[in-house]
C-alpha cells in the first residue's frame, strides 16, 4: 500500500511538468505526421523544395514525381518521364496534392523533369530544373539545367539552357550571396558526381566557376544560412553529408552524416535522400525523401513497386558544438511563417 502511495505521489509531482512539456511543444506548431506526404499519382515523391506562395498565402512543395507504380519496368524508365508535382500547406505540417507544374519547354515529345530549385526575387519566381531529352532505360544520356520564370508558380516560361561544366549536370541549388549576386551549386556527373558552382549577377546570365569539392560523390546540394554559418547538405546515398563554411567558398566536411541510421517511425526505416532545408526563425526543418521499401532489415524485392515507392518525411535539425545533428524519431511540431530565409 505504501509503495502504491509513493508511486501516486511521484505521478502527481511530475504531472505538471509533463503537461508543461506537451504545451510547449504544441505552442511551436502542429504535430507533423509520418510519413509527411505521399504523391497520389505515382507514389514516387522525391527531391522536395519548399517555397512560400505569396499570392495564395500558402507553402508550396515542388517535387520530382517518380513513376513508382508504372507497369513498364524496363531498366530505369520509371525514374524518367517524370513531371514536377506540387503540394500545398498552410503550416508546413499538413500537405495535400495540388497540381503538376506546367513547364513550357517541350522540344521533344518525351522528356524528363528532375529536382527543381525554386526561388522568388522581386515578385518573379525562378525555377532551375534538370531536363533530360527523353525517357530512357539507362543513365547514359545528356541532362541540362534550364531556367524558367513564373508569376503564379503554376505556369513556367522557358528562359534558357545554362552553359555549365558538362552536358551531364543535375540538381541546381541557388543562393543569394551577401554581395547581392547569386551562386548556383550543382552536380557534375562527368566528374565523379562532384559539386560544381556558377555565379550570376541577375539570375539570367551564369558563369561557370568550376569545382567546389569532390571528396565524395553526391548530389542534391542544398545551401542555407543558420546559427552564424553557411551550410551545405549533400545526398551521399548513405545518409546526408554536411559541410560548413564562413565564406561560401571554402567548405569543411562534418565527420558524421545525418539520416543515415534507420528511423523507427512509420515508413522511415531507410536512408534519407535529396532534401530541402527551411530555416524559420531560429529553427531549421529538413524535408527529405526516402524509399520505405528499401529498409535494410527487410528490403522489398529489387525492381518491385514496393522498392520504387518514395515519399517525403520531415525532421528538425539541431545545432550542437559547431555541428548539425538530426533525430528523425523525434516528433516535429511546426508552423512555418513566411520569412526572408527561404
d(CA 240, CA 234): 5
- Half-sphere exposure of residue 21, counting CA atoms within 13 Å on the CB side? 6
CATH 2.115.10.20: does it fit domain 33-334? yes
Q: Judging by beta carbons within 10 Å of its beta carbon (0-12, 13-18, 19+), is residue 133 exposed, middle or buried?
A: middle
Q: What is the pLDDT of residue 11?
A: 47
Of the candidate ranges 123-127, 272-276, 318-322, 337-341, the one whose mean pLDDT is the lowest: 337-341
Q: What is the pLDDT of residues 274-302, one digit of tens each?
A: 999 999 999 999 999 999 999 999 999 99
Q: What is the pLDDT of residues 216-272, one digit of tens each?
A: 999 999 999 999 999 999 999 999 999 999 999 999 999 999 999 999 999 999 999
| Stretch 127-155: mean pLDDT | 97
Per-residue pLDDT for 20 more than 80?
Answer: no
Q: How far is CA 271 from CA 43, 45, 169, 194, 302, in A?
A: 18, 15, 24, 21, 16
Per-residue pLDDT for 311 more than 90?
Answer: yes
Asked if 50 and 109 count as a contact pair (C-beta separation under 8 A), the reply is: no
Place of cell 520569412: 339
pTM of the model: 0.92
Q: What is the pLDDT of residues 65-79, one digit of tens each?
A: 999 999 887 999 999
180-212-159-340 Cα dihedral, nearest 10 degrees: -40
Element (H, E) at 89: strand 83-89
Q: Give 323's strand partners.
A: 320
pLDDT-based confidence at residue 3 (cuts at 50, 70, 90): very low
All three cell numbers of 18, joined, read 509533463
Q: What is the pLDDT of residue 70?
A: 92
Amino acid at each position: 500500500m505504501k509503495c502504491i502511495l509513493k508511486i501516486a505521489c511521484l505521478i502527481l509531482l511530475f504531472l505538471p511538468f509533463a503537461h508543461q512539456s506537451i504545451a510547449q511543444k504544441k505552442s511551436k506548431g502542429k504535430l507533423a505526421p509520418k510519413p509527411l506526404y505521399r504523391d497520389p499519382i505515382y507514389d514516387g515523391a522525391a527531391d522536395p523544395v519548399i517555397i512560400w506562395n505569396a499570392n495564395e498565402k500558402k507553402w508550396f512543395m515542388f517535387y520530382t514525381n517518380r513513376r513508382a507504380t508504372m507497369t513498364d519496368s524496363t531498366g530505369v524508365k520509371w525514374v524518367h518521364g517524370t513531371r514536377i508535382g506540387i503540394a500545398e500547406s498552410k503550416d508546413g505540417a499538413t500537405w495535400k496534392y495540388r497540381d503538376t507544374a506546367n513547364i513550357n519547354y517541350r522540344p521533344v515529345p518525351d522528356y524528363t523533369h528532375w529536382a527543381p530549385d525554386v526561388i522568388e526575387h522581386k515578385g518573379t519566381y525562378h525555377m532551375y530544373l534538370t531536363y533530360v531529352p527523353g525517357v530512357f532505360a539507362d543513365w547514359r544520356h545528356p541532362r541540362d539545367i534550364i531556367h524558367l520564370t513564373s508569376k503564379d508558380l503554376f505556369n513556367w516560361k522557358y528562359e534558357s539552357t545554362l552553359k555549365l561544366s558538362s552536358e551531364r549536370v543535375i540538381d541546381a541549388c541557388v543562393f543569394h550571396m551577401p554581395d547581392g549576386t547569386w551562386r548556383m551549386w550543382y552536380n557534375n556527373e562527368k566528374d565523379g558526381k562532384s559539386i560544381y558552382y556558377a555565379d550570376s549577377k541577375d539570375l539570367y546570365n551564369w558563369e561557370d566557376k568550376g569545382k567546389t569539392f569532390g571528396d565524395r560523390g553526391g548530389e542534391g546540394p542544398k545551401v542555407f544560412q543558420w546559427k552564424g554559418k553557411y551550410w551545405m547538405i549533400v545526398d551521399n546515398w548513405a545518409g546526408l553529408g554536411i559541410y560548413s563554411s564562413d565564406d561560401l567558398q571554402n567548405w569543411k566536411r562534418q565527420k558524421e552524416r545525418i539520416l543515415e541510421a534507420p528511423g523507427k517511425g512509420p515508413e522511415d526505416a531507410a536512408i534519407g535522400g535529396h532534401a530541402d532545408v527551411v530555416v524559420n526563425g531560429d529553427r531549421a526543418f529538413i524535408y527529405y525523401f526516402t524509399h520505405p521499401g528499401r529498409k535494410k532489415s527487410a528490403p522489398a524485392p529489387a525492381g518491385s513497386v514496393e522498392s520504387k515507392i518514395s515519399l517525403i518525411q520531415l525532421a528538425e535539425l539541431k545545432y550542437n558544438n559547431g555541428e548539425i545533428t538530426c533525430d528523425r524519431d523525434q516528433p516535429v511540431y511546426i508552423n512555418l511563417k513566411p520569412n526572408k530565409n527561404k
